[in-house]
Amino acid sequence: MKTRRVGPFEASAIGLGCMNLSHAYGTPPPEEAAQALLREALDLGITFFDTAALYGFGANEELVGRTLAADREKFVLASKCGLHGVDGQRVVDGRPATLKWSCEQSLKRLRTDRIDLFYLHRWDRNVPIEDSVGALADPVREGKVRAIGLSEVSAATLRRAHAVHPIAALQTEYSLWTRNPEIAVLQACRELGTAFVAFSPVARGFLGGELRDVSTLEAKDLRRSMPRFEPANYAVNLKLLDGYVAIAAELQCTPAQLALAWVLSRGEHVLAIPGTSKIAHLRDNVAAADIGLSASTLARLEALINVRTVTGGRYDAAAQAGVDTEEF
């Protein structure tokens, strides 16, 4: 597996987003299957695992801890704070005391004495970003956290945070159909030496080419709340898919591999963390690290799927209000 730099670490260019093993995409897989997938990821050369306190309200961190604690020295472990569950509800809380408490809880669930990369999952607008990041610097000094990251923030917020403590990574959604990072964040990361970590690089399954009927999504699938997956909008977006799948066929790769290869082509500071609950998809994803795309192929892809051709926003109004990213 090719590697890229994340703060003080070398990590696999394609990591694993662990969220959907416990959270958000309908019924999670059984424990045994989830553990098998995590172990297979490590065997395939993935050395970058991403979880969070929010995912399954702690269940995902516990799963990762149970499964991979014995192999702790073999991978870069990323988790997140500042967004967690309280009495079954999502709560954003960036107060210093809460972040330090969350760190201690995550360490216990993950069965480790240190978290390599600890993100602020969401910026709590009631707390200056400088205060939240300053609080996260304390566990760094204590050796409980090795590097700090931010999630779903703008370039301006990144720069403010970086002035307080080096920000090793910024994570946000990025794929052919979500291009917001190109407004400012990708360049800001490049200038500051901050890794850019793309979540949902396969467009929440759209660019995998298999989801043709959104009515098949489970009632609790997060995508049901997303405008792009509303039936009318999705029907329009599906018109883009045949041309995209045809390009993948020309290159003799899967549609998901093409999506990942495009994300990795955005710069040497970019990593991707696709999530999956299927080992076959995991193996396909890993192989994408070796796919190079020509300038003409990149141009065709970007002309086909872009901010002007995709219908619907990535979040509904409530979710959009919780992020700090630039928007077209």
Catalytic residue IDs: 55
Q: How far apart are CA 262 and CA 239, in angstroms?
A: 20
213: left (phi over 0), alpha (psi -120 to 50) or beta: beta
> Exposed, middle or buried, 311 (CB in 10 Å: 0-12/13-18/19+)?
middle
d(CA 130, CA 148): 13
Q: Which amino acid is at 210?
A: E
Tell me the CA distances in angstroms from 263 to 198, 210, 267, 292, one per residue in order: 8, 19, 8, 11
Distance CA 221, CA 99 (A): 28
On whether the CB atoms of residues 116 and 197 are closer than 8 A, the answer is no
